[in-house]
C-alpha cells in the first residue's frame, strides 16, 4: 500500500473528543486530509463497511474487557491496517491484540507527533502479514493439490495398470486438452472412482 498520504482514507474511532482531536491533529500535520472521526462505537462495523477506509485508528483510552474484545472482533473482520491506542494494558490484552490482527497496539503513547510513525508502522506491518498469509495459503493450496493428484495417480495405477510416470502424464495430458488444472481433473477422477467403487475409497 505505497500511497501518498493525501490519498489514504483514515477512520478514527474514539469516544473521547479531546483525544480524538490529538490524533486528528497528528494526522493532518502529516498531510493526511481524508479523515473521518467517529465518536460512537455502536454500529461501527456498518460504518466501516460504508466508509471503506484504508486504515483504521482506534483510541480506547482505558477500555474494559468487553470493549477490547469488541474491537478485537472488529479487527478480525475488517482486514485492514489497524492502529490501536490504549492507556494501559496487560499481557493477555496485548496477546489478544496480536491474535486479532491489530497491526500496531500502542500502550500509553498517544502523542500528536507519534501518530504518523505509528500509522506508517501499522501499514507496513499489515502488508507484511498479509503477504505472509497469502504465501501460506498458496503453499497449503499447493500441498492439497499434490495430495489430490497423488490419489488420482494411485487410482489410475490400480485401475489401468499404469506406471506412476504414465499416470501423471495421462492426468497432465487430460488437463491440457480440457484447459483445466491438473488438480481439478484429479478431483473429478477421485469423485468418479468413489461413485463407481466406493469400497476402494
DSSP string spanning 24-36?
Answer: HHHHHHTT--EEE
The whole-angstrom separation of Cα 139 and Cα 137 is 5
Q: Supply the pLDDT for residue 199.
A: 52
Domain ranges of the chain: 5-134, 136-200
Q: What is the pLDDT of residue 125?
A: 83
- Longest pairwise C-alpha distance within the chain: 77
**Among 100, 83, 84, which residue's Cα sits nearest to residue 92?**
100
Assigned CATH topology for domain 136-200: Arc Repressor Mutant, subunit A (1.10.10)
Predicted local distance difference test score (pLDDT) of residue 171: 92
Q: Could you read off the pLDDT of 88-137 as tens digits, one per residue?
A: 777 888 888 888 878 888 887 677 777 888 888 888 888 888 888 889 98
Q: Which residues of the chain have pLDDT under 50?
A: 1-5, 200-201
Asked if 103 contacts 129 with a C-beta cutoff of 8 angstroms, the reply is yes
Is residue 201 within 8 Å of 193, Cβ to Cβ? yes
Under 8 Å between Cβ of 76 and 102: no
pLDDT reported for residue 134: 87
**Does the reported pTM lie above 0.75?**
no
Residue closest to 189 by CA, chosen among 200, 143, 138, 165 = 200
- Write the DSSP symbol of residue 200: G
Q: Which CATH number applies to 5-134?
A: 3.40.50.2300
In the block, cell 510513525 appears at 117
- Supply the angle between the helices 164-178 and 182-196 in degrees, to the nearest 10: 110
The pLDDT of residue 201: 42
Amino acid at each position: 500500500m505505497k500511497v501518498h498520504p493525501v490519498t489514504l482514507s483514515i477512520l478514527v474511532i474514539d469516544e473521547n473528543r479531546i483525544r480524538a482531536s490529538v490524533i486528528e491533529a497528528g494526522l493532518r500535520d502529516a498531510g493526511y486530509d481524508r479523515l473521518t472521526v467517529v465518536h460512537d462505537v455502536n454500529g461501527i462495523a456498518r460504518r466501516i463497511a460504508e466508509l471503506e477506509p484504508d486504515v483504521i485508528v482506534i483510541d480506547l483510552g482505558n477500555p474494559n474487557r468487553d470493549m477490547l474484545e469488541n474491537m478485537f472482533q472488529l479487527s478480525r473482520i475488517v482486514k485492514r491496517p489497524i492502529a490501536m491506542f490504549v492507556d494501559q494494558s496487560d499481557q493477555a490484552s496485548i496477546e489478544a491484540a496480536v491474535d486479532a490482527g491489530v497491526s500496531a497496539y500502542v500502550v500509553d503513547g498517544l502523542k500528536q507527533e507519534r501518530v504518523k510513525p505509528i500509522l506508517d508502522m501499522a501499514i507496513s506491518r499489515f502488508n507484511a502479514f498479509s503477504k505472509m498469509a497469502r504465501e501460506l495459503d498458496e503453499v497449503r493450496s499447493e500441498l492439497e493439490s499434490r495430495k489430490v493428484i497423488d490419489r488420482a495417480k494411485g487410482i489410475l495405477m490400480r485401475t489401468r495398470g499404469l506406471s506412476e510416470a504414465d499416470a501423471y502424464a495421462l492426468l497432465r495430458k487430460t488437463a491440457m486438452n480440457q484447459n483445466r488444472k491438473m488438480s481439478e481433473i484429479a478431483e473429478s477422477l477421485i469423485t468418479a472412482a468413489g461413485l463407481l467403487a466406493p469400497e476402494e475409497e
